[in-house]
Structure 1
């Protein structure tokens, strides 16, 4: 929910290797995108991509940026309200 509207986003389904730290990755990535003044929808897709990629890494809160970039292409986002 933002002044740009309300969005719903869904990452692709994955087989998680290690979900520990994914929530922290999501919040941190969203904050980075927000600080870069990206639109809310892009902040959300970026954050979901990074968090999903972190679930595919054995390390806690770590992810491969190339994997996150591929996931980013697969995130489904929809504006559900103004």
Structure 2
């Protein structure tokens, strides 16, 4: 699945998009696969207990999505990590 990343996640992927093999069809499966492929991104996306950080935004086909939502085949997935500053 192609995932578009923003902000500091690009330091992990070294590109705007990343092709990630996903085993499952939920946002949670995409996050897990992304972190498996790019371990440096883990601290920006999930807490120590594995929960998605509250300030992380995931978009599926342009709409905000939570961890349990389905990701249809061919969907556009975007990850917006927590941003610091004012």
* Fold shared by both chains (TM-score > 0.5): no
TM-score by length of 1: 0.33
Higher helix share: 1
Larger radius of gyration: 1
Higher strand share: 2
More RCO (CA 8 Å, sep 6+): 1
TM-score by length of 2: 0.32
